């Protein structure tokens, strides 16, 4: 059997074909060549528009903890359309505009492909020839290449950049609080220390705020990444008001350093072994390996042996390194502590005045460099 798909994001279009048949190149050519010419019927257009409008309208009913993540992305990532902008565009678009857009699709493009499986170099090159022949794009200049940048939060050794919102769902009874600790780009051992710290404190954070303090059913922590910028994120959804939840998260982190100091060598070794094993648990099936390779390509990193190198390096991390990392990025007074607190209030708990319209300077992290040339063999 054969299968195919088309998807899009801010970077552009992605086409995929898979199967066991030798007619895969023919299928790829058919899909690529019809991107600009297939007939969009009025019925199909209205159905897709209606589905999109419904999806956007349902945003107001998202859980407050999800709204925290959304508002964080709106503040830190640029360019990024808001739900309101997308709703307005979905209401304006008509079939004629859609057809005009389709016909002018991809006047220039950078085509990058992964051909994976039972195929040799000549066969892989043939797939790319089929794609280029079907699309016939002009080269995409560096200035035209789509980019999404991530703003650098201001240093906040003892405070936090704070933004507050009210949930749009009038029936929502819960509020949510998110504390986002920016670490930055993948430099040195930072990514590995961040992953280790996240693994170590996850159960303690849940046990203290969910089990002991019973703040709410959603109490979670973990690592987040956006365009190569990594962070440690704490999220709580609760009927307790966000400023109080924020204070309790900060209190937990102040106390947690003592747990790190008291961490035994055996506990550290066990966690390092567990984390290394997780990283090395890759490529069990062909689609899984293809997905990992494609992720390296979309990140322009092309580091296909990364799991084995990182897995070995993680086992060499030490407690002094971990404490230094915590003190630098998380602890109050840290020299590189950059914190964003996002509060979403239930309508019934909204304060008389919100801290809104947080304006950050256009101080963006550098875009991770394209590593293709350095990875060539």
Answer whether 291's CB lies under 8 Å from 167's CB: no
Cα(64)–Cα(346) distance, rounded to whole angstroms? 8
SS3 95: helix
The alpha carbon of 214 is separated from its chain's Cα centroid by a whole number of angstroms, namely: 29
CA distance 44 to 38: 12
Q: Quick one: three-class SS letters along 302-351?
A: CCCCHHHHHHHHHCCCCHHHHHHHHHHHCCCCCCCCCEEEEEEECHHHCC
Is the model's pLDDT at 377 over the cut of 60? no
Cis peptide before 177, with omega less than 30 degrees from 0?
Answer: no
Q: For 332, list phi and psi in degrees, rounded to 5.
A: -60, 130
pLDDT digits (tens, 9 = 90+) for 278-300: 999 999 898 899 999 999 998 88
User: Alpha-carbon distance 127 to 117, whole Å?
Assistant: 13
For CA atoms 249, 254, 255, 256, the dihedral sign is positive
For residue 217, what pLDDT is reported? Answer: 87
At 28-85, the pLDDT tens digits run 999 999 999 999 999 999 999 999 999 999 999 999 999 999 999 999 999 999 999 9
HSE-CB for 186 with a 13 A CA cutoff: 16
Residue 319 pLDDT grade (very low, low, confident, very high; cuts 50, 70, 90): very high
Q: What is the pLDDT of residues 129-153, one digit of tens each?
A: 988 888 888 888 888 888 999 999 9
Report the alpha-carbon distance of residue 121 to residue 119 in Å, rounded: 7
Least confident interval from 48-52, 263-267, 268-272, 355-359? 355-359
Angle between helices 242-261 and 319-329 (to 10 degrees): 160
The answer to whether residue 330 scores a pLDDT higher than 70 is yes
CA 63-65-66 angle, 5° bins: 70
pLDDT of residue 19: 87
**Nearest alpha carbon to residue 298 among 114, 165, 136, 129:** 114
Average per-residue pLDDT for the chain:
93
**Residue 374 in this model has a pLDDT that exceeds 80:** no
**What are the C-alpha distances in Å from 11 to residues 35, 186, 322?**
17, 21, 36
pLDDT surpassing 80 at residue 240: yes
- State residue 25's pLDDT score: 87
């Amino acid at each position: 059997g054969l299968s195919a798909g088309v998807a899009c994001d801010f970077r552009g279009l992605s086409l995929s074909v898979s199967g066991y048949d030798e007619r895969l190149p023919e299928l790829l050519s058919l899909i690529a060549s019809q991107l600009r010419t297939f007939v969009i019927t009025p019925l199909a257009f209205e159905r897709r528009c209606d589905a999109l409008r419904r999806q956007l309208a349902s945003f107001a009913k998202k859980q407050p903890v999800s709204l925290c993540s959304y508002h964080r992305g709106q503040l830190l990532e640029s360019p990024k359309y808001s739900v309101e902008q997308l709703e307005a565009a979905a209401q304006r678009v008509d079939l004629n505009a859609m057809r005009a857009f389709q016909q002018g699709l991809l006047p220039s493009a950078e085509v990058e492909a992964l051909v994976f499986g039972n195929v040799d170099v000549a066969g892989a090159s043939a797939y790319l020839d089929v794609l280029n022949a079907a699309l016939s794009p002009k080269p995409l200049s560096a200035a035209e290449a789509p980019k999404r940048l991530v703003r650098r939060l201001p240093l906040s050794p003892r405070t936090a950049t704070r933004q507050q919102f009210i949930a749009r769902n009038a029936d929502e009874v819960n509020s949510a609080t998110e504390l986002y600790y920016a670490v930055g780009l993948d430099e040195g051992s930072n990514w590995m220390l961040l992953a280790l710290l996240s693994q170590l404190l996850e159960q303690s954070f849940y046990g203290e705020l969910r089990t002991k303090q019973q703040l709410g059913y959603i109490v979670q922590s973990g690592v987040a990444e956006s365009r190569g910028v990594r962070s440690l994120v704490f999220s709580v959804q609760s009927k307790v008001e966000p400023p109080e939840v924020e204070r309790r998260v900060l209190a937990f982190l102040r106390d947690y350093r003592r747990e790190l100091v008291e961490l035994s060598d055996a506990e550290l070794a066990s966690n390092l072994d567990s984390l290394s094993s997780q990283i090395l648990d890759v490529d069990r099936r062909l689609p899984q390996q293809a997905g990992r390779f494609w992720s390296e390509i979309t990140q322009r990193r092309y580091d296909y042996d990364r799991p084995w190198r990182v897995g070995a390096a993680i086992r060499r991390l030490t407690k002094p390194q971990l404490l230094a990392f915590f003190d630098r990025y998380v602890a109050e007074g840290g020299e590189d502590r950059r914190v964003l607190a996002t509060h979403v209030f239930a309508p019934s708990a909204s304060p008389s005045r919100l801290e809104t319209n947080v304006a950050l300077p256009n101080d963006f992290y550098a875009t991770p460099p394209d590593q293709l040339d350095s990875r060539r063999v």
